[in-house]
Every structure is written in C-alpha cells, then in structure tokens.
Amino acid sequence: MNNPQETEKLVDELHNQPYEPMVAAEIWLVSISLFTGISILIILAFVLKN
Amino acid sequence: MQKISFNEDRSAVWLAFLFIALALCLPLGVGNLLGWVIGVKVWTDPFNALAPLSKSFSHIPGWVSLIATLAFIALLLLWERRRFAENKKAFLSALLIVLTLTMIGWVLGHAGIVAAVPNEREKLGLKWSMGLTGEAGYLAALFIGLIIGNFFTSFAKFLSQAARTEWFIKTAIVLVGAGVGLKGLEQANLAGTVFFRGLAAIVEAYLIYWALVYLMARKVFGFSREWAAPLASGISICGVSAAIATGAAIRARPVVPIMVSSLVVVFSVVELLVLPFLAHAIIPEEPMVAAAWMGLAVKTDGAAIASGAITEALYMAQGGFQKGWMLMTTTTVKIFIDLFIGVWCFILACVWVYGIDRKPGEKVSLREVWDRFPKFVIGYFIAFALFITLGLSFPDKIKELKESSTNLDAFRKFFFALAFFSIGLSADFKRLWQEGLGKLILVYVVCLFGFVIWIGLGISWLFFHGIMPPTGVTP
C-alpha cells in the first residue's frame, strides 16, 4: 500500500541527499577499477597496434 | 520458541531452481514441461498477442496457456509462503489479482504502437510507434500498480500481502543467470576476432564506465551509496537487470533500482532513435565500430539489438556487406555485458559486506559474511555455471537447452514485471517522478551524453576499427 511517510522520506532524500562521505572501501573500488581499466586499455591498444 | 521468518532471499533461490529443474527436463529427455507457458509478442491485434512458448503446444489456445501460467505461478508462490501467510485464502486471492493485473500490464506494454522498434514497423503494418520495446510492459505494470496504490488504497492494502517486490526481483535474477549462461556459450562459437575484441571492450566498459558514473553520482551530485550504485549500473552497464541486481546485492530499498530502471527504459528509446543515425553520420567507414558502439551504449537488451539491426540496415544500404555480422557484433557485446552483471554484483556484494556495512573496528567472521551475503547472487552463478557446463558437455543438446532457456526467460520477465507492479502499489511514484526525478534525469543525461556514449565510441573504435564485415551475398 502507498506509504506517505516512506514517499515523503524518498522525496526528501532525492532533494537533499544525506551527506555520506566516501569511505575507504568505495575509494578503493573506484580507484582500482579505473586504474585496472585504463592500464588494460593502454596495454591492449599497444598490442592491437602491433 | 523462536518464530521463523520468511527468508525471501533463500525462497527466491529455491523457487528459481524449481523453474530451472522443470526447464531442464527438456534436454534430459523427460519432455518439455514448461513449453505450454504463455509467451507475449509485440501485437497490433490483441488476439494474436498470446501463444504458448513452444511450437509443440501451438494447438493450445493462448487464453488457456495464460490461465494455466497464472495458476501455476500462483500455486508455486502459495506453496512457498504456505507457513507464513496468516490467511491462505486471502493471500491466494490477492496473489491471483496481482498476477492478473501484472499480466495485463505486460500485455499492454507489448502493444505495437508502444513497443515496436523502427525495424519492426513494416512487418506489423505500423507507420509510427513509440519504440519502447517489450520492456514497456514493465512501465505498464508499474503504472497499473501506481493507479491502484494512489486511488484505491484499501484495495492496495489487500493486495500488498502478495506484492513482495524483493522476492520477485531475486527470483528473476537467478533466472537471468540461466539465460546468459547459454547465450555466452553460443557467442563463444563466434568468429575469434569479434569474440576477443567484444570481451575486451566489455571489461573496459565495466571498469571505466561504472567507476566514473559512481564517482560522479557520489561526488558531483551528492547521491548516497544506496542511490549511486544502482544508478551507476543502470546508466553504465545494462539498464534494468543491472540496476535491479546491483540494488539487491547492496541491499538497497527496492524502490531505488526500480526508479532507476524506469528511467533507463525511457532513455533507451532516445538512444535507439539517435545513435544508429549518429554513428552512420560520423563514422560512415567503420560499420563494426558502429555495431559495437550500439552494444556498449544502448542500455536495454531489446533496444540495443534493435539499434544493431537499424545500424546494419544503414550500412548495408551503402556497402554490400554480408548480412548478420554487424548485428552479431552488437549482440555479442550486449550479451557479454549481461554475463558480467553477476560478476560485478558479486564484487559489489563483497565490498558492501566487508568494507561498507561493517562498523569501524568490527571483525566480521566468515559465518557472518555468509549470513549477510545475498544468496541470490550465488544462485545466479550456479544457474549460469549449470547451463554453461551442460552446453559444453552435451553440444548435441544445445537446441533443447536453448528452448529451456527461452521458457525460463518468460518467467524472468514476468517476475521483473511483478516487481514493477509491486513497487507501483507501494510508492507514490507520481510524486516521486514529479519531485524527485529531475535530479536523477540530470545525472543520467550528464553521464550518458557527457561521457558514457563517447567513451563507448572510443572503446569500440580502439577494438573494432579497420575490421570490416565480409562483402558479397549472404550465404
């Protein structure tokens, strides 16, 4: 059933997302992901070019 | 005595495996036990919309197959919840209504005027259509749930006992594993160049796209983790399945990935209508780059494959290429994206259990990790591994396995539709769309058109430029 309080909470969240600093695990996930992705990209670009 | 509560996670896995066991009776030679299940086609005449999935059951009228399918699902769900429903008759009544209304939404979403993509219009005799693909059925189910939730509140309260969003979502995700396992195996037999380059392109897409969109959503737009993760998966990976699977893996409230998914379905139409023509205009000499780009950039399966078909038609008109190669490239890239959803959910579930949900200084034992870990992700992998292993071990049974997978796919789609209906019932989506969607749209537009499609073009260019489809008459 439609829950007005839950909806209110969601709308409020979308307007004013509670400040949630990035924790170490998130920073690691994003950094490792980007580092691995860009490294593979460079290696594959080199391999495919030769 | 401790009261045992209903575990949706575990129940979803068992339910999905029951469907899988029944589907596998076909390759095992027992018979096509699910071939009678209803299949919904894109239609212009509603009487032609419904037919049993298997041709061997084509003598059964569509409406009989429909009733049998709804009754079958209702009985299975009732059996699963038999110990937890306070009033079984009321639960069964509510369940039957939920199933029926969702099916109505699913069928309405397949109306040609809504669902037909541009390359289907001629076959269906349509001059114009919205091009939302059959996935518009999700939006129609959501819309029906929304009407009931907002205007018939006491009826919605009655239905809510059977509208179990997470249960439906998790069951569907395990079934996704079975489908992509077999599709992955089929792609492995393709031309080596397309296979290798497609695989490399996908690894890149996951590692770069997801991280960038997540970073943007968190740092620039200030979204919480619960919103940022499904948003990153929805925008960067593969729309509906990815957003919902990610949301469930990090234990987000179901309304979060459903909102993201509804946005993805709407935006995929924009991509479908723009990108094939843009590709043809800016890279007229690179058909394979354009095809891979469609797989990487267009977010829902239906829209991506339709984009591949439109792209192929545009390039075929100029080049005399053999038919099928560009579409195969788009499909391969898209299927690889689907294959990796499970891997990515597994990684995210581990990061969330170990690194994010854990309190500072808290030691998490292996037992706790197991308890907190979403079991449906494991169910997904088992289903995936089972279909791949069967396909590799019994290559002569691929046709039957494919039919089993098609049968399971019908349940997967319907369970996703049930989740959309349930969310419509439980949330004031109208208010959420009016007041909250602006910010989500902004993130979507900035990320998708700001860098996702351009990085996708760059990756496609890197892996596919200079490769041409064979020329000549299609053999």
pLDDT digits (tens, 9 = 90+) for B170-190: 888 888 888 777 766 666 655
Q: How confident is the model at residue B2 (pLDDT cuts 50, 70, 90)?
A: very low
* Across B357-366, average pLDDT: 72
Tell whether the model's pLDDT for residue B93 goes beyond 90.
yes
Count the Cβ atoms, other than its own, within 10 Å of residue B414: 26
CB-nearest partner of A33 from B210, B425, B459 = B210
Interface test with B, best of A5, A6, A10 (most B CBs within 10 A): A10
- CA–CA dist B27, B23 (Å, integer): 8
Q: Can you read off the two tokens belonging to residue B10?
A: 């575990």
- Give the rounded percent of residues in chain B with a pLDDT score beyond 90: 22
CB-nearest partner of B211 from A14, A30, A41 = A30
Chain B residues whose beta carbon lies within 8 Å of the beta carbon of residue A9: none
pLDDT at B472: 60
Q: How confident is the model at residue A2 (pLDDT cuts 50, 70, 90)?
A: low
Q: What is the mean pLDDT of chain B?
A: 83
Q: How confident is the model at residue B121 (pLDDT cuts 50, 70, 90)?
A: confident
Its ipTM equals: 0.85
pLDDT digits (tens, 9 = 90+) for B134-151: 888 988 998 899 889 888
Interface test with A, best of B148, B208, B288, B343 (most A CBs within 10 A): B208
* Stretch among B127-131, B278-282, B379-383, B422-426 having the lowest mean pLDDT: B422-426
Chain A residues whose beta carbon lies within 8 Å of the beta carbon of residue B354: 25
pLDDT digits (tens, 9 = 90+) for B415-439: 989 988 987 887 666 666 666 677 7
Contact: A2, B208; criterion CB under 8 Å: no
* Across B302-320, average pLDDT: 79
Contact: B355, A11; criterion CB under 8 Å: no
Q: How confident is the model at residue B191 (pLDDT cuts 50, 70, 90)?
A: low
CB-nearest partner of B224 from A3, A6, A17 = A17
Contact: A2, B149; criterion CB under 8 Å: yes
- Give the rounded percent of residues in chain B with a pLDDT score beyond 70: 88
Q: Does B100 touch chain A (CB under 8 A)?
A: no
Q: How confident is the model at residue B36 (pLDDT cuts 50, 70, 90)?
A: very high
Q: Which residues contact B210 (CB under 8 A, 6 or more apart)?
A: A33, B232, B233, B236, B237, B344
pLDDT digits (tens, 9 = 90+) for B254-274: 888 888 888 887 787 788 878
pLDDT digits (tens, 9 = 90+) for B4-17: 455 777 888 899 99
- Find out whether B270 and B299 touch, Cβ atoms under 8 Å: no
Which residue spans within B315-431 are E strands per DSSP? none
User: Which chain B residue shows the shortest CA-CA distance from A2?
Assistant: B426
Q: Does B161 touch chain A (CB under 8 A)?
A: no
* Across B41-54, average pLDDT: 89
Chain B residues whose beta carbon lies within 8 Å of the beta carbon of residue A33: 206-208, 210-211
pLDDT at B221: 87
* Across B325-334, average pLDDT: 80
B25-34, B73-82, B320-329: range with highest mean pLDDT: B25-34
Contact: A26, B218; criterion CB under 8 Å: yes
* Across B372-398, average pLDDT: 83
Burial pattern B40-75, b for ≥16 Cβ within 10 A else e, equals bebbeeeeebbbbbbeebeebebeebbeebbebbbe
**B255 versus A6: which is more confidently predicted?**
B255
**B388 versus B95: which is more confidently predicted?**
B95
Chain A residues whose beta carbon lies within 8 Å of the beta carbon of residue B428: 2, 4, 7
pLDDT at B290: 93
pLDDT digits (tens, 9 = 90+) for B275-309: 998 999 999 889 989 998 998 888 877 788 778 88
**Torsion over CA of B78, B83, B85 and B88, rounded to 10 degrees?**
60
pLDDT at B106: 95
pLDDT at B432: 63
pLDDT at B3: 47
* Across B222-251, average pLDDT: 85
Helix (H) or strand (E) holding B39: strand B38-40
Contact: B436, A26; criterion CB under 8 Å: no
pLDDT at B379: 86
* Across B364-381, average pLDDT: 75
Chain B residues whose beta carbon lies within 8 Å of the beta carbon of residue A46: none
- Find out whether B438 and B209 touch, Cβ atoms under 8 Å: no
Q: Which residues contact B93 (CB under 8 A, 6 or more apart)?
A: none
Q: Does B210 touch chain A (CB under 8 A)?
A: yes
Q: Can you read off the two tokens belonging to residue B97?
A: 């209504």
- CA–CA dist A30, A34 (Å, integer): 6
Rounded to two decimals, the pTM is: 0.74
pLDDT digits (tens, 9 = 90+) for B194-235: 666 666 777 777 788 889 999 999 999 888 898 899 989 888
- CA–CA dist B247, B177 (Å, integer): 16
Query: What distance in Å separates residue B48's CA from the closest CA in chain A?
Result: 34
